């Protein structure tokens, strides 16, 4: 493919993009919907498509959306920078963090980034050059209400210049954790429609995974077939028997809740690294009203203890009392040396079961910005044996923030004092 720049450049797309996405790449209908497993390269392929096609169509502009704005910089924004570098077209692109946007310098076309947590900014975009014709909704699973998507859909409106070759299109990418999500009925169960491409991808179409990456999935296949069907093959998650049912997603004024009598702050930390995220649970507990307000979170893979400390301090919680997974005593000691007030959780016989039972008596109100907490709690179910009989233990999945929540509330669950 020859791209239009001041100096035409030729890119061999099969070498750059790889296999498995030919239909995706060529489709020009209104909705291009991709559910896929982890490591299925859906986000990277999407980022490559936008960079290539904005350089191909000099009047195209793109809107990139996630449920919360703060998650964009470390996801889509970074993926698009990666795509520019992979295509070796860095010299023609400029990426700015304030405001968060990318500009194709030869023409002034832009990629805009918005969060659904500020809907006015989504629906009021005016472009400087050309038309806003493409939109990418990443981690679409986070958008739980179809009405919210309909509002987004209306933001891509108006005509395209005659003879430009442009077309209006949404690209919707996500991990299919729950078969009850509106995306399944709307796009995957819909009758054939020339305006809808709904496809499933998985890690087997990613030729750039090495042997260690593939082994993670092969081990998952043997150890946890149910998880492999979703996280490995991209199938729909079947959610049956939620551990926590008394919860709702609802915006609230954090300062107003914090100012109420009887409210206490609770913070819990679960360690991860390569395959699992390090997570921080941030809650406000009202024991008298039996309410737990979940107001913030950290959820990130590959963090060293130093980065964990920096993140928590950067979030403004460096002086808070944090209860952490006691299986990592060296990590706890290091976090203490870095200035955090942290102690290990008192794990013991039936501590998980007792913690769950105590939390089940609470009404859990979750701020919409806590997208990873919402994903976990809506998929955290009771495990089953090989005959399908429910067990009295939760699944070993979707549990990083769920564990951090139990650690955070340990003092109240056990009646113990907080001692670092």
Contact (Cβ atoms closer than 8 angstroms) between residue 320 and residue 265: yes
How far apart are the C-alpha atoms of 310 and 179, rounded to whole Å?
A: 37
pLDDT band at 173; cut points 50, 70, 90:
very high
How far apart are the C-alpha atoms of 57 and 36, rounded to whole Å?
A: 28
Ramachandran angles phi, psi of 206, nearest 5°: -100, 95
First-to-last alpha carbon distance for the chain, in angstroms, is 61
Res. 200: pLDDT tops 70: yes
Q: What percent of the chain clears pLDDT 70, i.e. is strictly above it?
A: 97
CATH class (in words) of the domain with range 247-414: alpha beta
For domain 2-219, the CATH architecture is 3-Layer(aba) Sandwich (3.40)
Residue range 382-408, pLDDT digits in tens: 888 777 777 888 988 899 999 999 999
Contact (Cβ atoms closer than 8 angstroms) between residue 136 and residue 54: no
Residue range 215-247, pLDDT digits in tens: 999 998 998 888 899 989 999 987 778 999 999
**Nearest of 220, 241, 181, 126 to residue 375 by alpha carbon:** 181
Q: What stretch of H or E contains 68?
A: none
Res. 4: pLDDT tops 70: no
Res. 378: pLDDT tops 80: yes
Does residue 99 have a cis bond before it (omega within 30 degrees)? Answer: yes
Residue range 297-328, pLDDT digits in tens: 999 999 999 999 999 999 999 999 999 999 88
Sequence ranges of the domains in the chain? 2-219, 247-414
Res. 7: pLDDT tops 80: no
Q: Which residues are within 8 A (CB) of 406 and not within 5 positions of it... i.e. 6 or more apart?
A: 268, 345, 351, 352, 355, 356, 359, 413
Mean pLDDT of the chain: 92
Residue 347, pLDDT score: 80
- Neighbour count for residue 95 (Cβ, 10 Å): 15
**Nearest of 75, 86, 129, 77 to residue 105 by alpha carbon:** 129
How far apart are the C-alpha atoms of 53 and 24, rounded to whole Å?
A: 13
Residue range 86-126, pLDDT digits in tens: 999 999 999 999 999 999 999 999 999 999 888 777 877 88
């Amino acid at each position: 493919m020859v791209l239009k720049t001041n100096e035409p450049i030729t890119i061999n797309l099969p070498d750059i993009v790889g296999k498995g996405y030919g239909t995706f790449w060529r489709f020009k209908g209104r909705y291009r919907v991709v559910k896929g497993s982890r490591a299925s390269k859906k986000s990277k392929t999407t980022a490559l498509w936008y960079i290539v096609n904005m350089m191909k169509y000099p009047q195209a502009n793109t809107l990139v959306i996630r449920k919360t704005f703060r998650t964009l910089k470390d996801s889509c924004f970074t993926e698009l920078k990666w795509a520019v570098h992979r295509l070796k077209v860095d010299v023609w692109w400029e990426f700015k963090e304030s405001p968060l946007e990318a500009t194709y310098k030869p023409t002034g076309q832009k990629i805009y980034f918005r969060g659904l947590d500020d809907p006015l900014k989504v629906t009021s975009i005016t472009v400087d050059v050309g038309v806003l014709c493409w939109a990418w909704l990443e981690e679409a699973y986070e958008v739980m209400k179809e009405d919210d998507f309909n509002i987004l859909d209306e933001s891509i409106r108006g005509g395209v210049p005659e003879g430009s070759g442009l077309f209006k299109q949404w690209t919707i990418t996500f991990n299919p954790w729950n078969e009850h999500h509106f995306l399944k009925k709307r796009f995957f169960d819909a009758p054939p429609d020339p305006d809808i491409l709904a496809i499933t991808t998985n890690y087997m179409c990613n030729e750039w995974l090495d042997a260690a990456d593939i082994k993670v999935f092969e081990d998952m296949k043997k150890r946890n077939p149910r998880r492999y069907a979703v996280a490995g093959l991209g199938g729909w998650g079947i959610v049956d028997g939620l551990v926590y049912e008394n919860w709702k997603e609802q915006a609230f004024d954090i300062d107003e809740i914090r100012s109420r009598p009887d409210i206490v702050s609770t913070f819990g930390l679960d360690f991860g690294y390569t395959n699992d995220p390090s997570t921080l649970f941030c809650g406000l507990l009202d024991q008298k009203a039996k309410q737990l307000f979940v107001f913030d979170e950290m959820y990130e893979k590959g963090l060293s203890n130093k980065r964990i400390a920096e993140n928590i301090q950067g979030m403004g919680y460096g002086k808070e009392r944090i209860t952490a997974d006691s299986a990592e005593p060296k990590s706890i000691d290091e976090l203490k040396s870095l200035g955090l007030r942290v102690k290990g959780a008192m794990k013991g016989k039936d501590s998980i079961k007792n913690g769950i039972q105590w939390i089940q008596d609470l009404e859990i109100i979750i701020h919409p910005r806590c997208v990873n907490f919402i994903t976990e709690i809506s998929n955290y179910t009771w495990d089953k044996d090989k005959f399908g009989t429910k067990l009295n233990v939760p699944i070993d999945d979707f549990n990083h923030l769920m564990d951090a929540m139990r650690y955070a509330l340990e003092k109240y669950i056990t009646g113990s004092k907080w001692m670092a």
